[in-house]
A = this chain, B = another copy of it.
Amino acid sequence: MELFARSRPRLTGTAAAASPAGSLAKVAKLVQPHLEQVETRIAQQAAAFDPAIEGYVVYAIGSRGKRLRPLLTLLAGGATGGINSGHVDLAVIVELIHLATLVHDDVMDEAERRRAQPTANARWGNSLSVLLGDCLFAHALTLSTNFENAGIGRAIARTAATVCSGEMIQTQRRFDLNLGVQDYLRIVEMKTGSLFSAAAELAAVISEANASVIERFKNFGFQIGTAYQIYDDCVDLAGNERSTGKTLGTDLRKGKFTLPVLIFLRSASEFERERCCQLVLEERVEEMIELLKNGATNGALNESIAAGSDLIRDAQTALDGIESTPYAEALLCLGDALCEMFDQLRV
């Protein structure tokens, strides 16, 4: 299986940065004025809604995340000829789609808090939050019809459908011990890889890059996005509750079996499978995490981290042949920063 076969030397673009957060900040610095424009534009979107619901929209879009998708969009725009207002529009749209899915995720997970704030569903209930997510979705897709190139709006709408389909398959297969590593990868590619992919690909389209360049950015986004989701899933099992501000093991409690669990199950004995099943059903999540760190495969978690890091290196390879600019270098550094984040999870 390709995913676990390769190992390449690490690129060293961020050697100077002291921490993954520092590396990410360094990357973001290159497009800081544009990121601020994106932030302003996102905040302005609430005004497009009826005054009666503007407040809810402000709340939903105000929960500042890492803005990874806008960052990728802007860097890809810069690397394909320079950032223009179309790239800022695209960055706003992909982030709004992401925010819409977060609102619905929180409803489905019955999550009480996100980034230290009460979730929309915790504040106003599920009904209002379902509709709030719908409003954000519809608004993002409305914005995406403003591109002169209608193919961009079409690609964004199609990507939104793919993201939701991926989440649907994930939901359908909760508590399914027969879920395979390949099934998981497909889900992750659909729910996260596809939106990162669209961000990078369409940024290149907006720059009117040639087909082979567009293809490279598409692949870069796809692999970086997929790797990022794997990272996020690993954090849920092995992160630091204090530094991430997240409760660990929430995926397991919801029956979402992520890469470390599936790698463990793949080579587990019948006895281990049964033990795993029992721990999940009894919500003995801490014990399950121990098993993943120290199990028979000598660390399913480390193997997942290696898989994610390999994907990032593949993504970086996808940019081979792209003209060397500070933006292209920053995209490689973005990959390195993700690798560093992975490294911090190693046991």
Quick check: is A126 within 8 A (CB to CB) of the other chain? yes
A172, B53: Cβ atoms closer than 8 Å: yes
Binding site for B on A (CB under 8 A): 49-50, 52-53, 56, 104, 107-108, 126-128, 130-135, 137-139, 141-142, 144-146, 150, 153-154, 157-158, 160-161, 163-165, 167-169, 171-172, 190
A169, B134: Cβ atoms closer than 8 Å: no
B169, A52: Cβ atoms closer than 8 Å: yes
Q: A145-B145, A150-B150, A165-B50 are in contact. Are A171 and B128 (CB under 8 A)?
A: yes
Specify which of B134, B171, B190 is in contact with A127 (CB 8 Å cutoff). B171
Give chain B nearest CB distance to A322 CB in angstroms.
Answer: 29
In the complex, chain B residues whose CB is within 8 Å of the CB of A154: 142, 145-146
Name the residue of chain B whose CB is nearest to the CB of A144. Answer: B157
A107, B128: Cβ atoms closer than 8 Å: no
Counting every copy of the chain, the complex holds 2
CB<8 Å pairs between A and B, sample of 24: A50-B190, A52-B168, A56-B168, A107-B126, A108-B127, A127-B171, A130-B133, A131-B167, A133-B134, A134-B134, A134-B137, A134-B167, A137-B137, A137-B138, A138-B141, A138-B157, A138-B160, A138-B164, A141-B141, A141-B157, A142-B157, A144-B157, A145-B145, A150-B153
Report the bound CA distance from A132 to B167 in whole Å. Answer: 10
Report the bound CA distance from A179 to B182 in whole Å. Answer: 53
In the complex, chain B residues whose CB is within 8 Å of the CB of A157: 138, 141-142, 144-145
Specify which of B108, B134, B145, B165 is in contact with A164 (CB 8 Å cutoff). B134
Q: A141-B160, A150-B150 are in contact. Are A135 and B52 (CB under 8 A)?
A: no
A130, B128: Cβ atoms closer than 8 Å: no
Q: A135-B165, A165-B50, A168-B56 are in contact. Are A104 and B130 (CB under 8 A)?
A: yes
Most interface-central of A50, A107, A165, A172 (chain B CB within 10 A): A165
A168, B132: Cβ atoms closer than 8 Å: yes
Report the bound CA distance from A104 to B126 in whole Å. Answer: 11
Report the bound CA distance from A63 to B130 in whole Å. Answer: 22
A49, B165: Cβ atoms closer than 8 Å: yes
Report the bound CA distance from A138 to B128 in whole Å. Answer: 19
Give chain B nearest CB distance to A94 CB in angstroms.
Answer: 14
Name the residue of chain B whose CB is nearest to the CB of A109. Answer: B127
Report the bound CA distance from A11 to B92 in whole Å. Answer: 50
Name the residue of chain B whose CB is nearest to the CB of A145. Answer: B154
In the complex, chain B residues whose CB is within 8 Å of the CB of A141: 138, 141, 157, 160
Give chain B nearest CB distance to A145 CB in angstroms.
Answer: 4
Report the bound CA distance from A127 to B161 in whole Å. Answer: 16
Q: A130-B133, A145-B153 are in contact. List 4 more A-B contacts (CB 8 A).
A: A52-B168, A138-B164, A139-B161, A146-B154
